[in-house]
Amino acid sequence: MTARPFRKMHGLGNDFVVVDAREQPFAPSAAQAAAIADRRRGVGCDQLIVLEPAEPGDRADLFMRIFNADGSEAEACGNATRCVASLLFAEGREAVAIRTLGGLLPCTPAENGLVTADLGPARLDWREVPLAREMDTLRLDYAKGPLAEPVALSLGNPHVVFFVADPAAVALETLGPAIEHDPLFPRRTNVQIVQVVSRTHLRQRIWERGAGLTQASGSGGCAAQVAAVRRGLTERRARVEQPGGELIVEWREADGHVLMTGPVATAFCGMLDGSLLG
């Protein structure tokens, strides 16, 4: 495979290697994706993002393929969606729609260079998460160490949300992978550890499926807010504080869609050497 240009981007430190394959196909294997994501031997990222043409007749502007750092594919990624939307805005588009395995994600520019992504309706049924068996997703009968009774939901990708007094006190580097790979979650799961600071402020740490501890997660922030509203802990709109910064998340009452607003940034551009892709 020949060398390919890429752009290194991030949303609140949740970082991506973005390859534009709309004109020249790029189909990395799981092993190649993991090699690119390797922070010592590759470029390093939480996810590799490949931009592909939308299917004929699809109203999407493009299809965004998402590879986790371990090479597995993800259905959705909120921060990457905002980053890719910003690239389309730079091409002169005012509102865009990005297709992922998890669905169509409309995006619009917001004030001060921020981007708003519509992650669609939260999926709350146990079959939609999915779980291995029928359970009440508002309060799962599930515990791992000191963590218990999470909220489960999907935003195109699966999440469990645990509410705690102090996220920093949770050994997420140990508990995260154990929960991610628990048989209750047949597609594995993202793990959110959340503190309710006030009715308009959440504080969160993230274990991302296939990537591990991350500085931020767009869909994770949305999952935290939806879970908090379901439990009656916050208003419909709140700021979600993550290690890398803050998102504004609204679970819109009118249609159930989850809107996330936050910053995007480009760190640098470069070339993926052919030896890395060989």
Over residues 183-207, the pLDDT tens digits come to: 999 999 999 999 999 999 999 999 9
Nearest to 106 by CA among 114, 96, 115, 94: 96
pLDDT, the chain, mean: 96
Q: Which residues have a Cβ under 8 Å from the Cβ of 40 and sit 6 or more positions away?
A: none
Q: Which residues have a Cβ under 8 Å from the Cβ of 154 and sit 6 or more positions away?
A: 122, 123, 128, 129, 130
- Tell whether residue 190 is among the known ligand binding residues: yes
Q: Tell me the pLDDT tens digit for each residue of 116-163.
A: 999 999 999 999 999 999 999 999 999 999 999 999 999 999 999 999
- Tell whether residue 79 is among the known ligand binding residues: yes
- Tell whether residue 205 is among the known ligand binding residues: no
How far is C-alpha 161 from the geometric centre of its chain's CA atoms?
14
Under DSSP, the state recorded for 7 is: E
Nearest to 191 by CA among 166, 230, 163: 163
One CATH from 3.40.50.300, 3.10.310.10, 3.30.160.620, 1.10.260.40 for 121-262? 3.10.310.10
The dotted CATH code for 4-109+273-277 is 3.10.310.10
Q: Which helix (H) or strand (E) holds 105?
A: strand 103-109
- Tell whether residue 112 is among the known ligand binding residues: no
Q: What is the 3-state secondary structure (H, E, C) of 159-189?
A: EEEEECCCHHHCCHHHHHHHHHCCCCCCCCC
Q: Identify residue 50 by its one-letter amino acid code.
A: V
- Tell whether residue 241 is among the known ligand binding residues: no
Decide if 44 contacts 276 (C-beta within 8 A): no
If one counts every other C-beta atom within 10 angstroms of the C-beta of residue 262, the result is: 26
| Residue spans in the chain of domains classed CATH 3.10.310.10 | 4-109+273-277, 121-262
Res. 277 pLDDT band, cuts 50 70 90: confident
Q: Identify residue 39 by its one-letter amino acid code.
A: R
What pLDDT sits at residue 1?
Answer: 64
3-state SS assignment for residue 55: coil
Q: Tell me the pLDDT tens digit for each residue of 28-72.
A: 999 999 999 999 999 999 999 999 999 999 999 999 999 999 999
Q: Is 45 a catalytic residue?
A: no
Reported residue count of the chain is 278
pTM, rounded to two decimals: 0.94
- Tell whether residue 208 is among the known ligand binding residues: yes
Decide if 264 contacts 115 (C-beta within 8 A): yes
What pLDDT sits at residue 276?
Answer: 83
How far is C-alpha 225 from the geometric centre of its chain's CA atoms?
14
Q: Report whether pLDDT(11) > 90.
A: yes
Q: Tell me the pLDDT tens digit for each residue of 222-259.
A: 999 999 999 999 999 999 999 999 999 999 999 999 99
- Tell whether residue 204 is among the known ligand binding residues: no
Question: Directed axis angle between helix 78-90 and helix 218-230, to 10°?
Answer: 130
Q: Is the sign of the CA dihedral 156, 157, 162, 166 positive or negative? A: negative
Q: How far apart are CA 129 and CA 140, in angstroms?
A: 12
3-state SS assignment for residue 82: helix
Pick the catalytic residue: 77, 83, 107, 222?
Answer: 77
Q: How far apart are CA 181 and CA 184, in angstroms?
A: 8
Residue 265 burial (C-beta neighbours within 10 Å; 0-12, 13-18, 19+): middle
Q: How far apart are CA 254 and CA 123, in angstroms?
A: 15
